[in-house]
Chains A and B, each alone.
Chain A
Amino acid sequence: MGELAVAALLAGTVLLASTLSVRLGISVALIELAAGFVVGNAFDLSVPDWLSFVGSFAGVLLTFLAGAEVDVPQLRREWRASFAIGSVSFAAPFVVVGLLAYYGLGWTVDQAKIAGIALSTTSLAVVYAVLVETGLNQTAIGKRIMAATFITDLGTVAMLSILFITPSVWIVPFVGVSIALIAGLPRLAPWFFRHFGNRVIEPELKLVFASLFLLMWLGDRAHSHAVLPAFVLGLVLSSHYASHRKEQERLRVVAFAFLTPFFFLKGGMSISAGALWANLGVLGILFAGKMVPKLIGVYPLARRYAAPHAAFTTLLMSTGLTFGTISSLYGLNTGIIDRTQFSLLVAVVVLSAIIPTVIAQRAFQPDVAAEREREVAVSARLREDVA
């Protein structure tokens, strides 16, 4: 099939995925991933170079957006509890899956690192949707869970950027430019926005894209990945976006309309149905490798910091989607993991987006009204104690 024919087929698939998402009430990303899987396997399509390129950029842009969506004041308020839960939520599956892949499945050290990183994630977006839908995002426990999710994500992007660096002279410009952009862009953004913002030619979006491409190039030369600086860059610009919602909205429009669909389609197309079918046992082992350490590691901390909703918190911290897919795609693109390993990792990531969420919602969802009453009572008791 020619390149334009593939492009037309994929554009039609993206369109269909969007309409299905609206009708089914399921995230467009998950449907794009599934659609890519169906189209890729049904037509036996290989991923064209242009799709790889667009998908790689979209992955970095997704990471930037994730950073920009962090509520920094909330994170500061919940720092202690969220750090404890978030760091264990990252470290426990990272170590267990890494060891399991290396010793149990015979993967190489680098393959085991990719597996550990991909399955250590917690999905902020999945968690956020559950909390907003129920109104729990307004409660202390909801805020704490979101802050903890950020810590886990930070661990993921840090490991993905640091663990594969090969010492070379390119590390210096990569680190230097990353620091310069992270320190400089928040200062430049207000001036740039005043002079060039709010125009249909979107210079402010181009400033972000140019910065991300520069980071991608330098990261590639340094045998690293631009996700860490991209995430932190988004984070330091989050207060700018909080006061310029329209700008953030336009960035999302460009991302969701053209870029991220190809990222998820590419992810889906790279999953081999045959490889999954032939390795269902390994799939189960990896799924357990993610879930068991998350559950065992997070639950005691959740009992301490998120009582009486420890089980709900633990299950939400066990979800994953975007960063797991980004990490797996990085491994595939750089040749660290093969298509079978990629298929297994992404399948586990998708299962972890669905299964813990469903269990948390069906069996452990807190009563929001009761939770608010409880918070009011706790505050009153504290005030009495202080008085």
Chain B
Amino acid sequence: MPFSRIVVAIDGSEGSEHALAKALELAGLTGATLLALAVEGPLPAYAATVGEVEEVKREKDAFFERLLMRVRELADEAGVPAEVELRPGHAAELIVHYAREREADLIVLGHRGHFLRDRMLGSTADRVAEHADCPVMIVR
């Protein structure tokens, strides 16, 4: 079996939707377990009010709850065994660490996430490709 554990990074962006579809397809073909990691992006930096932070956090929590539920449904429909997890933090670092921790043999992720600053500082996909221990598939 070419793959037994495939990590897919999701953040609800268009790029991650493409990555999820491709990861599901691959997992279905190879009989691999899909490990969906949702990376909760940063809260507003240098906030002026606690309210702004709390509201964004609440929106994010609700958004990711819906996102993870949808991944479970899609995996069920495709007959793919799947585990979903939500972690807060730095996207590239988390994805690489999670793949290592779960001994994944493939990471699938979109080429572009939500935040402009990811694009300005070099994309998450680039950094994961550079630091991951396993093959990385970047989906357009």
Q: A62–B48 contact, CB under 8 A?
A: yes
Q: A27–B88 contact, CB under 8 A?
A: no
- The count of residues in chain B whose C-beta lies closer than 8 Å to any C-beta of chain A is 22
A10: CB under 8 A from chain B? no
A135: CB under 8 A from chain B? yes
Contact digits for A103-130, partner B, Cβ 8 Å, 1 yes 0 no: 0000000000000000000011110110
Chain B residues with CB below 8 A from A21, complex form: 44
Q: A29–B51 contact, CB under 8 A?
A: no
B39-69 interface with A by 8 A CB criterion? 41-55, 57
Q: How far is the CA of A255 from the CA of B49 in the complex (A)?
A: 11
Cβ-defined partner of A65 (8 Å) among B42, B49, B53, B88: B49
Known contacts: A23-B115, A133-B42. The answer to whether A255 contacts B51 by CB under 8 A is yes
B1: CB under 8 A from chain A? no
Chain B residues with CB below 8 A from A92, complex form: none
Q: How far is the CA of A354 from the CA of B46 in the complex (A)?
A: 7
Known contacts: A128-B53, A132-B43, A249-B55. The answer to whether A321 contacts B48 by CB under 8 A is yes
Contact digits for A20-47, partner B, Cβ 8 Å, 1 yes 0 no: 0101111111100000000000000000
Give B88 Cβ to nearest chain A Cβ, in Å: 6
Chain A residues with CB below 8 A from B114, complex form: 23
Cβ-defined partner of A29 (8 Å) among B41, B49, B88, B116: B49
Question: Can you name the residue of chain B whose Cβ is closest to the Cβ of A71?
Answer: B50
Q: B52–A29 contact, CB under 8 A?
A: yes
Q: Per DSSP, are chain A's interface residues mostly helix, strand or loop, or mixed?
A: helix
- The count of residues in chain A whose C-beta lies closer than 8 Å to any C-beta of chain B is 36
Q: B51–A69 contact, CB under 8 A?
A: yes
Q: B50–A69 contact, CB under 8 A?
A: yes
Chain A residues with CB below 8 A from B89, complex form: 133-134
Q: A26–B46 contact, CB under 8 A?
A: yes
Chain A residues with CB below 8 A from B42, complex form: 25, 133
Chain B residues with CB below 8 A from A29, complex form: 46-49, 52
A322: CB under 8 A from chain B? yes
Known contacts: A132-B53, A134-B88, A135-B88. The answer to whether A26 contacts B48 by CB under 8 A is no
Q: How far is the CA of A62 from the CA of B134 in the complex (A)?
A: 49
Chain A residues with CB below 8 A from B45, complex form: 25-27, 30, 129, 357
A256: CB under 8 A from chain B? yes
Give A371 Cβ to nearest chain B Cβ, in Å: 15
Q: B47–A128 contact, CB under 8 A?
A: yes
Interface centre among A125, A248, A264 (most CB of B within 10 A): A125
Q: How far is the CA of A301 from the CA of B132 in the complex (A)?
A: 42
Question: Can you name the residue of chain B whose Cβ is closest to the Cβ of A62?
Answer: B49
Chain B residues with CB below 8 A from A62, complex form: 48-49
Give B103 Cβ to nearest chain A Cβ, in Å: 20
Contact digits for A139-167, partner B, Cβ 8 Å, 1 yes 0 no: 00000000000000000000000000000
Known contacts: A21-B44, A25-B41. The answer to whether A133 contacts B49 by CB under 8 A is no
23 CB < 8 A contacts A-B: A23-B114, A25-B41, A26-B44, A27-B47, A27-B52, A29-B48, A29-B52, A65-B49, A65-B50, A66-B50, A125-B47, A125-B50, A126-B47, A129-B44, A129-B47, A133-B43, A255-B49, A255-B51, A256-B49, A321-B47, A322-B48, A322-B49, A357-B45
Query: Ordered nearest first, which 4 A-B pairs have the shortest CB separation?
Result: A29-B48, A69-B50, A125-B47, A27-B47
